[in-house]
């Protein structure tokens, strides 16, 4: 992690990663470089405005100790989840989705939460695949466009506008044949995000035994 952080301080490294992601949206390593840079570099941190977003999403009177007890989605046993929850529930669908896509939810030790910004930047990636499950958006490029747009509507962070911008540059230069599907996905995600109740901060572990369709109806999500 220290090695990556040194790279993200280099503006040429950041520019190279931007171009690589524009060319190939599946360039995961370069996407991680951009995410790290956008969230932590002095040049982009002010634009990212995660502190402002966190103030809006999380009550300001919470102490550091209370922040540490906000819902997290860590330490998941996917095989146990797949065996314990009934088909059609959030827990069952999430476990099978992650197993099918060879995703390891315990790849990194959960980061400590010392302030509101920390919580937002940990909670969103931890719950990303759960949002895929309950919104019904796939993990293909159009599905990711839809979910990022959904995030933008619900969270309002400039980071999601940047991600959509990178995706649209890729569409313009390298995938113009997919323009209609991608723009439709962005529009659908935005409308759904505005229509739905907020998914931020949900205690997802407490929802694992909830049937997906019932959850969608309760939160005004597409069924």
Pick from 13-27, 43-57, 75-89, 145-159: least confident: 13-27
Is it the case that residue 162 has pLDDT exceeding 90?
A: no
Tell me, yes or no, whether 104 and 8 share the same domain: no
Is it the case that residue 77 has pLDDT exceeding 90?
A: yes
Tell me, yes or no, whether 120 and 21 share the same domain: no
Is it the case that residue 24 has pLDDT exceeding 90?
A: no
Tell me, yes or no, whether 80 and 43 share the same domain: no
Tell me, yes or no, whether 114 and 84 share the same domain: yes
Query: What is the pLDDT confidence band of residue 6, given thresholds at 50, 70 and 90?
Result: very low
Tell me, yes or no, whether 6 and 63 share the same domain: no
Tell me, yes or no, whether 127 and 195 share the same domain: yes
Note whether residue 223 is domain-resident.
no
Note whether residue 214 is domain-resident.
yes
Provide the pLDDT for residue 106: 87
Q: pLDDT tens digits, residue range 188-203? A: 999 999 999 999 999 9
Query: What is the pLDDT confidence band of residue 26, given thresholds at 50, 70 and 90?
Result: confident
Match 């809006």 to its residue by tokens.
56
Q: How many domains in the chain?
A: 2
Tell me, yes or no, whether 31 and 103 share the same domain: no
Provide the pLDDT for residue 195: 98
Domain with 7 in it: 1-48
Q: How far, in Å, CA of 164 to CA of 166, rounded?
A: 5
Tell me, yes or no, whether 119 and 201 share the same domain: yes
- For residues 56 and 29, the model is more confident at 56
Note whether residue 54 is domain-resident.
no
Tell me, yes or no, whether 87 and 130 share the same domain: yes
Provide the pLDDT for residue 4: 37
Helix residue ranges per DSSP H, the chain: 2-8, 11-23, 28-40, 42-48, 50-57, 64-67, 78-84, 90-100, 116-135, 141-155, 158-174, 179-195, 212-218
Is it the case that residue 160 has pLDDT exceeding 70?
A: yes
Tell me, yes or no, whether 42 and 152 share the same domain: no
Note whether residue 157 is domain-resident.
yes
Provide the pLDDT for residue 22: 74
Percent of the chain with pLDDT over 70: 83
Q: pLDDT tens digits, residue range 113-148? A: 999 999 999 999 899 999 999 999 999 999 999 999
Tell me, yes or no, whether 64 and 14 share the same domain: no
Model pTM? 0.86
Tell me, yes or no, whether 103 and 212 share the same domain: yes
Mean pLDDT of 12-21: 63
């Amino acid at each position: 992690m220290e090695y990556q952080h040194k790279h993200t301080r280099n503006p040429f490294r950041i520019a190279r990663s931007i171009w690589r992601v524009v060319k190939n949206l599946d360039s995961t390593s370069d996407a991680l470089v951009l995410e790290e840079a956008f969230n932590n570099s002095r040049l982009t941190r002010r634009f990212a405005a995660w502190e402002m977003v966190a103030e809006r999403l999380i009550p300001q009177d919470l102490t550091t100790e209370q922040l540490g007890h906000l819902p997290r989605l860590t330490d998941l046993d996917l095989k146990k989840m797949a065996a314990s929850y009934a088909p059609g529930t959030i827990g069952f669908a999430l476990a099978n989705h992650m197993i099918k896509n060879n995703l390891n939810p315990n790849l990194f030790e959960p980061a400590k939460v010392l302030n509101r910004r920390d919580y937002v930047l940990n909670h969103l990636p931890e719950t990303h695949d759960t949002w895929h499950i309950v919104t019904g958006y796939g993990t293909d490029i159009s599905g990711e466009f839809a979910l990022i747009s959904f995030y933008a509507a619900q969270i309002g962070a400039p980071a999601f506008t940047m991600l959509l911008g990178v995706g649209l540059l890729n569409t313009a230069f390298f995938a113009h044949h997919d323009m209609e599907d991608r723009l439709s996905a962005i529009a659908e995600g935005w409308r759904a995000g505005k229509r739905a109740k907020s998914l931020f901060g949900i205690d997802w572990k407490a929802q694992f035994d909830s049937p997906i369709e019932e959850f969608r109806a309760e939160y005004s999500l597409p069924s």
